[in-house]
Structure 1
Amino acid sequence: MIGLHIAALAAALAVSEPLPLAHEVLDTRYEECVARLGESIAEARKAAERWHADGGGAPALHCLAVADLAAGYPKLAAVRLLELADRPDAGDDLVRARILAQAARAWLEAGEIGLAAEALDAAFARAPEAGELYLTAAKIRLAREEYQAAADAVTKAEQAGFVSTDAYVDRARAHMALLKHRAAAEDVVAALKLDPMNVDALVLRGELQQLGVAIDAHYRRLEETDDGGAR
C-alpha cells in the first residue's frame, strides 16, 4: 500500500503545474524525462541524474526529485525539492510555493510531519493567497489528527476553486473521524463523481454503508430525508 501511495504522489508531482522553462526544448526534455518513469523507474532515475549532472537546471532537478519519489526515496525527493525552491531559475513566488508544497507532501510520505509543516509554512510565506496550498495543509492536519482543521482546509481550497478526488477523500476521512457521517457521505459522492473508480473513495463508501449510511449508487448529491438521514 505504501508503494502505491508513493507512486500516486510521484505521478501527481509529475503532472503538477509545470516549471517555467527558458526554452521549449527543455520543456520537451522534461516531458521525456518524466515519461520514462512509466517504462523503468531505475532507468528514468539514472537518466534524470545524468541530465542534472549535465546542467539541466530546474527542470532536471524536478524530474530527478519525482524519480526519487517513485523509486521509494521520499526524504531525498523532499530535500531536492527544497533545493529546487531556492534556485534562481525555479520561477516566481507562486511556482516556488508549489514546489515547497510538493516537498511537504514528500516529507509526509516519509513520515516527517514536522518537516512537512515547515515546508508548507514556507510555501504560504511565498504565496499567502494561493488557495491550492490548503490541499496540502489538509493532509498535514489529517496526519496530526486535527480533523476539523483538515476538513476546514479542504473547504478553503474548494472555495478558492481547487477541488480534486483526493481532497474530497481527505475531507471524508476527517468527517468520519469527527463522526459526521452524513458530511463524509457527501464528500464520498463528490469524490466518486470526479472518479467513479477511485479506490479510496470506494473503500470509504463501504465503511459508511457498514455504519448504515446509504449512498446513492448513481452518485447524485445526497438529499436529506425527513428524519435527517442520507439516502
Structure 2
Amino acid sequence: MTLFFKSYQKHYTQKQADDCLAEAKRIITDKFSEESSRDLMQLILARERDFRNQIDSQRVVSRDASPESDRRATREAQQPYINAFYVFAKTLNDYFEAPELNPHALHVYTNSPYYLYVGKDSNHSYNSTDSKSKAALYSGILLTLLGLFLIPVNLPAALITIGIGITMLAPSAYYSTVITRSNENAVYAKEEELFAAAKALVASDSVATNDEDESPTETIGLK
C-alpha cells in the first residue's frame, strides 16, 4: 500500500505508541529477570530508535509556508510512521500479555495494513520514492495488460499502450527489486531476530517454570 492510501487509515498518536511500548517493556521487566531479557531489550531499543529517527526526519520546514502549514505537513508526513511504530509496540504488548494467544506475532505484525519497514535512516526506510515506484510498477503492469487485450481490437493503440507500460515497468521494477526489496529484507532480518528472541525468552521461562513444578514430585519419589 502506498503512502497516499496509508494517509486515509486510522490515525494513532505518538503518545499511544509511546505508552504501548512502555507497557510492553513493563511486562517484560515484571515477568523476566534483567539478565535473561537483556538481549531482547537491546533489540527493542534499537528498533525504537529507528522508528523515532524516521518520525523525526519527516519534519517539514519551509521558508515560504506558514508555521501552521509546516506543522500540518509534518503531521501528514509523520503519521504513517507513527502508525507503524504503534503497531510494532502493540504487537509486542499483545505477545507478552498472552504469548499462547499470539504464537505468530511476527506474521501478524508484518501483515498489518499499518506496517512499514523502517531502517536505520530515511534511505533505508519505506519512503515516498518507494511509494511512487510501487505505484508506477502497478500502473505499468496494468497498461501492459491493457495493451495485450487491445491487440485484436486496435493494433496501433495496443502497441502504444504496451510501449508506455514497459517504459513505466523497467525503472520501477529495477528500483523495487534492487533498492526497496534489499532494504526491506534487511529490516525484516532485524525484526525476525527480535521476535525470535521474544519467543526464546518466553520458552525459556516456561521451561524454568515446568522444572520448578516437577521438582517436589521428583523429591517425593526418591523418598
Higher helix share: 2
Fold-level similarity (TM above 0.5): no
- The structure showing larger relative contact order (alpha-carbon pairs under 8 Å, at least 6 residues apart) is 2
Q: How does the TM-score come out when normalised to structure 1?
A: 0.26
